[in-house]
Amino acid sequence: MTDPSPARILHLSSTAVGPDVLRITVRGELDVDSAAEFQDAVTEHLAARSGLRALRVDCGGLVLCDSMGLSALLMVHRRTTALGVSLHLEERPPALDRLLAVTGTLDHLTAPPAAAASTPPSS
Amino acid sequence: MTTSSAPPAPLTAGDQVPFYTSRLWEAVRAGDEYAAGTGVRDALTDGVPPETLLLDVIGGVQRRVGAEWAANRLSVAQEHAATAINERVIALLAQHPDVPPVPPARGRITVACVDGEWHALPARLLAEVLRLRGWRVDYLGAQVPAPHLIAHLHLTNPDLVALSSSLVTRLPAAHATITACQATGVPVLVGGAAFGSDGRHARQLGADAWAPDARQAAERLRRPLTRRKADHQAIDDLPHLADQEYTLAARGSRQLVREVLAGLESRFPTLLDYDDVQRDHTAQDVAHLVEFLTAALYTDDTELFSGFLVWTADVLRARAVPPESLLPALDLLERALRDFPRAVGLITRSRQALSRALRASGPPAARQLDPGQPA
Amino acid sequence: MVNSAERSADNAWSDAALHAAPYPVLVADPVGTVRRANEAFGLLVPDAVEGSALCEVLPDWLLLAHDRLSAAPAPHAPPPRGEVAGRSFEAHATRLPEGEVVWWLTDDTDVRLAERRLLQERNRTAFLARASNELLSSLNLDRCMEVAGRLAAAHLADAAVVIAPPRGRALSVVSADGTGAHSRQLTGVAPESVPGLAEALRGFPPVPSRWIDPAAAPEWLVPEDFGPVGAMVVTPLPGHGVPAGALVLLRRAHHAAFSESEESFARLFAARAGAAMSAARLYAEQAQITETLMRELLPPRVGQVGGVEFAARYRAAKDGERVGGDFYDIHPAAAPQDESLVVLGDVCGKGLDAAVLTGKIRNTLHALLPLSGDHVRMLRLLNGALLSSHHTRFATLVMASARRRADRVELRVTCAGHPAPLVVRADGRVAEVETHGNLVGVLPEIDAVTAPLILAPGESLVLFTDGITESKGGPLGDELFGDARLRRALAHCAGMPAEAVAEHVQMLATEWVGVNKHDDMAVVTVTAPRGSSRRAPGGTPTEGHGA
């Protein structure tokens, strides 16, 4: 049951889509073991590109996101907001949407930066 | 506080137990915790000794709960409800002013259930009886993970551990727990249906003592238990494990379940039309079959597996399912394990025992089925 | 027959051979007297002159061997051995044609000594291995001290006393002699009353026993009926860098004193006993700290409060670790007409960080109890208290306020980013409670919706964490337990006591995961008791806490 299958290991890759837009593709599991890695990697990218306007995280290959994974996404959102970078969580799998909906973080994480402060969750 | 209404006519000592047992049974069956508590308080007032009340009245009701469940007259959920009420009644008894606390003068005992064991009541009853007999008891409850138990032993240094297990499928876990306790120098007394009606699995797994019930366990503890040598190894008890059949079958048990299920579906295409609940049930039944087979491989005990098959046939019959449906699953299991001679022998002998039992009981009985809704 | 000339020539040769032989040699004639003995033999037994009776000059063991040889020769028997003049010899016999027997003695004193030493070494090594096994099998300090005392008394001395470093006023002491070991807590005795003991307890090297006056052993140190002490050794029990105690060995007056080799062996034993005792002590200290922590963090036992039944079950993710990310609390109503508050939550992450956040949440909510009439306000204050710029750790939780009204239970239920609880109706219907809200601890502002709910007798509200629904396993090994299975299971729980519902859910989920890894699993049930409403809530038979 706990075989480390390659599909479950977190894999990150990044491409510059334009001069001020970066896309990070996430594959595998974003969980208690890999959340810190994800957070650090994104923080480095943000630090390395000062003129960034948008960060697009492609979640299509995300097979699992647990509470620590969500915590990392929230931290990334906090960082991008502070830098005035807009965060876009794209290609969200249904399980991730469900997690964001239940925890009441969907609007916070997906609303445009100005309105991101607080919104009651949509039921 | 007690508003005890004494029984209508004075009862002789011999009548007391059946009277209060049936009164408690009615209360438990009706889910009436209050009536259950009142009945037990009345029994105390009536002079029923606390130990009799625990072992014969409450214990008797609990045995009946198990029998009713096996006969499909109680659901698992109702069994839980009945047990919860009995647990409360025991707690009530322990705090009752007519049951004065006995000063612990005999030593310290840890009472626990093996991990995965949910039937805590027999262990609870033993704990209470030992308390009444002057032991200092630490009762750890149902499904105690072995690391918790061992940590507890290191902290409290008891004179012995009393370990309860009713499910033979938990015997490998029980063995590991027994060995771990003994490795800390604490002797182990075991009890419960898992160890066999003659205690054969208790001896086989190297327990220091075995008792068929709580009363005899308490009697046995009048004599001291001696500790086994600390260098005892689990494998010494079960030399047949050297053939690795148990290890491989246990490790591949999920795969075995899948293979048998797939085989059943190709033989009986109607299974494919089952809904989620029915599919869950079938998978659960096959999983049980595999679990009991692996336990039989662990203990090298054909009777463990054949006994399960015969018992399952009875349960199926009670649920109006033809017990013959077990045979194809056995065939598929045997084919999946064809490279394991000990497993194949075990299945072959058990199938013979099942066939004999099926012949003896004749065509599927038209037994009255009671859906068992509580009042 | 041999003639006398030949005989004397023969004698002359054998005389020469006899005297040149590098061994003591004796020739015995068939009638039991000494025929001849060489000089080397004469040095050992001066009386063994020609003609003397064997029975008067030979040591017993050699005489016995000689008689045996004449009676029943056993050519393959091992040579007899014994002592002559304080040394050890092996005797080899040669039978001459006329019935004479030549005894050659070979001195094996050094061989014997070496053999004895080897055997002793082997025994000691075996003993140390056995002792280590026995000492290390328990992490209980009392048991370790008892084992150490018992082993030392059986193998090293007539009696042994194991003394733990003093704690407060009491000195923890185990005394053992051949009959058994017993432990005592002694107050009012000073380690200084035993020569070398105070030093040993501080870990100083042992004082050689010949410098210790055994008569100085105080009464508390010597087992009852032991008699006068003839010799005493005081050895420190070295722990892992800290002294673990001291070992005192006692011998009775008429027994030999401790040799240097015995004392050094005792130190080898002491090293093992000290390591075991120190491990047990560290373990006990650690366990005590954990116990104290857990008493704070572990969920409370629950029961019936004000006519409302509460029950809970919790199983931590890792079996070795009972404090996980899930938590629950039940704050009982002060008066029967008031509301009790139950909170079930799930903190993200595991281990100490999670435990610290859990503690903070539980304490904050406890402080905010007076505001529990407004769940949303309570949650907003909690959220504000948890916000931190350093991390985005959060918690999801669900809270329910409950009070009895006639035979019903009235509830207000609020979810903060948590899976919505389920309600089990008397007819077996299972429905989700309509409440939702944001998680707490990360977002600057949060909101939530509180749902009112009424439970009829036998109906239950079931709060759970996602460890239950997201547990993976089942007969096929990799299926989610899921919402649908939980709802199906709950459909059978109508009319059941709160305890039974909680137990049932927990059992199903635990059996579902089997041996798989799983997250923390927690379930809390709130139930309106079945049975008559005529009974005053306070008079129910199960008031208060369970076992």
Confirm whether C395 is domain-assigned: yes
Q: Which one of C266, C292, C318 terminates a domain?
A: C292
List C-alpha distances in Å: B152 to B114, B142, B147, C171, C299: 14, 15, 8, 25, 19
Count of domains for chain C: 3
Kindly report whether the global pTM for this prediction surpasses the value 0.90.
no
Q: Over the stretch C433-459, which tens digit does the pLDDT of each residue have?
A: 999 999 999 999 999 999 999 999 999
pLDDT range class, residue C369, cuts 50, 70, 90 = very high
Confirm whether A120 is domain-assigned: no
Task: Tell me the CATH number at A90.
Answer: 3.30.750.24
Judged against a pLDDT cut of 90, whether residue A2 lies above it is answered with no
Residues from chain B contacting residue C284 (CB–CB below 8 Å): 154-155
pLDDT at B318: 80
Q: Write down the mean pLDDT value for chain B.
A: 86
Beta-bridge partner residues of C522: C314
Does residue A106 belong to the interface with chain C, where contact is any CB pair within 8 Å?
no
Task: Tell me the CATH number at C97.
Answer: 3.30.450.20
Residues from chain B contacting residue C505 (CB–CB below 8 Å): none
Q: How far is CA B77 from the centre of its chain?
A: 16
pLDDT at B370: 36
Confirm whether C547 is domain-assigned: no
Average pLDDT over residues B31-52: 90
Q: Over the stretch B134-174, which tens digit does the pLDDT of each residue have?
A: 999 999 988 888 888 888 888 888 999 999 999 999 999 99
Q: Calculate how close chain B gets to C344, using CA atoms only, in Å.
A: 22
Q: Which one of C91, C107, C123 terminates a domain?
A: C107
Q: Over the stretch C2-37, which tens digit does the pLDDT of each residue have?
A: 455 555 555 655 677 778 888 899 999 888 899 888
The pairing of strands C395-405 and C408-416 is antiparallel
Confirm whether C545 is domain-assigned: no
Confirm whether C68 is domain-assigned: yes
Are C48 and C152 part of one and the same domain? no
pLDDT at C293: 59
pLDDT range class, residue C541, cuts 50, 70, 90 = very low
pLDDT at C544: 37
Residues from chain B contacting residue C542 (CB–CB below 8 Å): 33, 37, 88, 91-92
Listed in sequence order, the residues at least 6 apart from C40 whose beta carbon sits closer than 8 Å to its beta carbon are: C21, C22, C23, C24, C25
Q: Which residue has the tokens 């869950």?
A: B280
CB C196 within 8 A of CB C206: yes
Please tell me the least confidently modeled range out of A84-88, C40-44, C347-351, C542-546. Answer: C542-546
Q: Calculate how close chain B gets to C258, using CA atoms only, in Å.
A: 30
Find the CB nearest C499 among B34, B84, B183. B84
Confirm whether A5 is domain-assigned: no
Are C140 and C258 part of one and the same domain? yes
pLDDT at C324: 56
Residues from chain B contacting residue C510 (CB–CB below 8 Å): 116, 143
Does residue A109 belong to the interface with chain C, where contact is any CB pair within 8 Å?
no
Judged against a pLDDT cut of 90, whether residue B178 lies above it is answered with yes
pLDDT at C12: 57
Residues from chain B contacting residue C476 (CB–CB below 8 Å): 254, 257-258, 261, 283
Task: Tell me the CATH number at C522.
Answer: 3.60.40.10
Are C141 and C87 part of one and the same domain? no
Residues from chain B contacting residue C280 (CB–CB below 8 Å): 154
Average pLDDT over residues B56-81: 86
Judged against a pLDDT cut of 50, whether residue B301 lies above it is answered with yes
CB C518 within 8 A of CB B101: no
Residue range(s) defining the domain that contains residue C246: 113-292
Q: What percent of chain B has pLDDT over 90?
A: 51
Nearest-angstrom CA–CA distance, C108 and C101: 21
Looking at C108-179, which runs of residues are DSSP E strands?
A: 159-163, 170-177
Q: Which residue has the tokens 């435990």?
A: C355
pLDDT at C299: 58
Judged against a pLDDT cut of 90, whether residue B43 lies above it is answered with yes
Are C268 and C143 part of one and the same domain? yes
Q: Which one of C107, C139, C173 terminates a domain?
A: C107
Are C437 and C384 part of one and the same domain? yes
Asked if B145's CB is within 8 angstroms of C497's CB, the reply is: no
Chain B contact partners (≥3 CB pairs within 8 A): C
pLDDT range class, residue C138, cuts 50, 70, 90 = confident
Are C148 and C37 part of one and the same domain? no
Residue range(s) defining the domain that contains residue A37: 11-114
Judged against a pLDDT cut of 80, whether residue C384 lies above it is answered with yes
Judged against a pLDDT cut of 50, whether residue C320 lies above it is answered with no
List C-alpha distances in Å: B160 to B107, B110, B122, B204, C149: 9, 7, 17, 19, 21
Confirm whether C358 is domain-assigned: yes
Are C179 and C273 part of one and the same domain? yes
Phi, psi for C438 (deg, rounded to 5): -85, 155
Are C321 and C444 part of one and the same domain? yes
Confirm whether C540 is domain-assigned: no
Does residue A68 belong to the interface with chain C, where contact is any CB pair within 8 Å?
yes
Beta-bridge partner residues of C235: C247
Find the CB nearest A67 among C348, C416, C517. C348
Between C520 and B295, whose confidence is greater? B295
Confirm whether C544 is domain-assigned: no
Closest to C400 (Cα-Cα) out of C486, C323, C310: C310
Please tell me the least confidently modeled range out of B370-374, C203-207, C263-267, C486-490. Answer: B370-374
Task: Tell me the CATH number at C232.
Answer: 3.30.450.40
pLDDT at B25: 94
Are C287 and C177 part of one and the same domain? yes
Q: Write down the mean pLDDT value for chain C.
A: 85
Find the CB nearest A103 among C325, C417, C519. C417
Confirm whether A109 is domain-assigned: yes
What's the angle, vertex CA B129, arms to CA B123 and CA B133, rounded to 5?
140
Does residue A120 belong to the interface with chain C, where contact is any CB pair within 8 Å?
yes
CA Rg value for chain A: 14
pLDDT at C297: 55
Q: What percent of chain C has pLDDT over 90?
A: 36
B68-72, B360-364, C356-360: which has the highest mean pLDDT?
C356-360
CB C180 within 8 A of CB C150: yes
pLDDT range class, residue B365, cuts 50, 70, 90 = very low
pLDDT at C296: 56
Residues from chain C contacting residue B36 (CB–CB below 8 Å): 541
Q: How far is CA C175 from the centre of its chain?
A: 20
Average pLDDT over residues C501-530: 89
Confirm whether A2 is domain-assigned: no
Judged against a pLDDT cut of 90, whether residue C200 lies above it is answered with no
Nearest C-alpha in B relative to C509:
B116
Please tell me the least confidently modeled range out of B34-38, B298-302, C169-173. Answer: C169-173
Judged against a pLDDT cut of 90, whether residue A120 lies above it is answered with no
Average pLDDT over residues C190-195: 84
pLDDT at C318: 62
Judged against a pLDDT cut of 90, whether residue C98 lies above it is answered with no
Q: Over the stretch A93-111, which tens digit does the pLDDT of each residue have?
A: 999 999 999 999 999 999 8
Q: What percent of chain A has pLDDT over 70?
A: 86
pLDDT at C295: 57
Are C431 and C467 part of one and the same domain? yes
Phi, psi for A12 (deg, rounded to 5): -120, 140
Nearest-angstrom CA–CA distance, C476 and C160: 59
Listed in sequence order, the residues at least 6 apart from A42 whose beta carbon sits closer than 8 Å to its beta carbon are: A24, A55, A57, A76, A79
Q: Calculate how close chain A gets to C322, using CA atoms only, in Å.
A: 18
Provide the ipTM.
0.86
CB C115 within 8 A of CB C122: no
pLDDT at C298: 57
Are C359 and C242 part of one and the same domain? no
Find the CB nearest B31 among C280, C320, C495. C495
Asked if C474's CB is within 8 angstroms of B153's CB, the reply is: no
Count of domains for chain A: 1
pLDDT at A1: 42
Confirm whether C534 is domain-assigned: no
Confirm whether A41 is domain-assigned: yes
Closest to C162 (Cα-Cα) out of C271, C252, C152: C152
Confirm whether A79 is domain-assigned: yes
Are C323 and C370 part of one and the same domain? yes
Nearest-angstrom CA–CA distance, B253 and C478: 13
Confirm whether A46 is domain-assigned: yes
